[in-house]
């Protein structure tokens, strides 16, 4: 196998995986469970930690693609962790505000704009060859939006009144663990091996970002006009 064939084959496998995930998940990518009763504090903590993690992996394909888009442009761990930190702070703010009824986000616009945010980041990966300083601010703004999406999902799940804050915090921790799994998986899959190669942008960043942009555009249209 030649060096040029290697990234081509890797790109095909990665795109195939994204298509498989797209076909196996609903466009909203959110889980709904029934009312939860009579939980002990420990059981509530474990359950909401698990629910937060599952909301990203494997059920949150929209959030997976957003985090993957953040990673692609600069495949080193430090830049993506800085972006992930900004994203975490932002979505923690709006998640908390929404769950305590300080704000009441409209799920129609939130889900549509989440899809649009994925589209914008994927397009930036295609048209920009380097990570810009403004990316952190943009990620923070999009994180505020995604936090409202987490709040919509968590509102459907419900929170036990006696462990409200604990369950909210553990759900958020589960979300962060899910995001870290996505980042580390991307790093081990192609960032570590191909991130510093001259063909990385041509054969990995642009094709994967294009595929993500197509998926996000489809979600944006369906969420705006068919939901």
Query: What are the phi and psi torsion angles at 38 (to 5°)?
Result: 55, 45
State residue 84's pLDDT score: 84
Cβ-defined contacts of 211-216 (< 8 Å, 24+): 211/15, 211/18, 211/19, 212/18, 212/65, 212/68, 212/69, 212/118, 212/122, 213/119, 213/122, 213/123, 213/126, 215/18, 215/22, 215/65, 215/118, 216/62, 216/65, 216/115, 216/116, 216/118, 216/119, 216/122
Domain locations in the chain as residue ranges: 5-13+61-225
The ranges of the chain with pLDDT < 50 are 1-3, 5, 7-8, 10-34
Task: Specify whether the CB–CB gap between 102 and 161 falls below 8 A.
Answer: no
Percentage of the chain surpassing pLDDT 70? 83
* pLDDT digits 0-9 by tens, 157-213: 778 878 888 889 999 999 999 998 999 899 888 888 898 899 999 999 999 999 999
Q: What is the mean pLDDT of the chain?
A: 82
List, as one string, the DSSP characters of 158-206.
Answer: ---GGGHHHHHHHHHHHHHHHHHHHHHHHIIIIIHHHTTSTTHIIIIIH
State residue 201's pLDDT score: 92
State residue 138's pLDDT score: 87
């Amino acid at each position: 196998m030649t060096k040029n064939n290697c990234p081509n084959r890797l790109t095909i496998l990665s795109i195939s995986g994204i298509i498989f995930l797209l076909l196996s998940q609903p466009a909203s990518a959110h889980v709904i469970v029934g009312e939860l009763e009579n939980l002990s504090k420990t059981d509530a903590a474990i359950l909401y930690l698990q629910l937060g993690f599952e909301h990203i992996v494997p059920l949150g394909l929209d959030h997976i693609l957003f985090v993957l888009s953040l990673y692609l442009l600069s495949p080193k761990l430090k830049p993506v962790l800085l972006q992930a930190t900004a994203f975490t702070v932002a979505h923690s703010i709006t998640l908390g505000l929404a769950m305590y009824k300080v704000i009441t986000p409209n799920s129609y616009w939130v889900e549509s704009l989440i899809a649009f945010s994925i589209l914008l980041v994927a397009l930036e990966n295609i048209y920009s060859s380097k990570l810009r300083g403004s990316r952190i601010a943009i990620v923070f703004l999009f994180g505020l939006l995604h936090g409202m999406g987490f709040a919509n999902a968590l509102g459907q799940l419900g929170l036990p009144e006696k462990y409200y804050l604990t369950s909210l915090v553990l759900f958020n921790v589960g979300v962060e663990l899910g995001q870290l799994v996505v980042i580390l998986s991307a790093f081990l899959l192609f960032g570590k091996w191909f991130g510093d190669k001259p063909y990385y942008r041509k054969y990995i960043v642009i094709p994967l970002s294009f595929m993500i942009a197509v998926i996000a555009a489809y979600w944006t249209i369906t969420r705006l006009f068919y939901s």
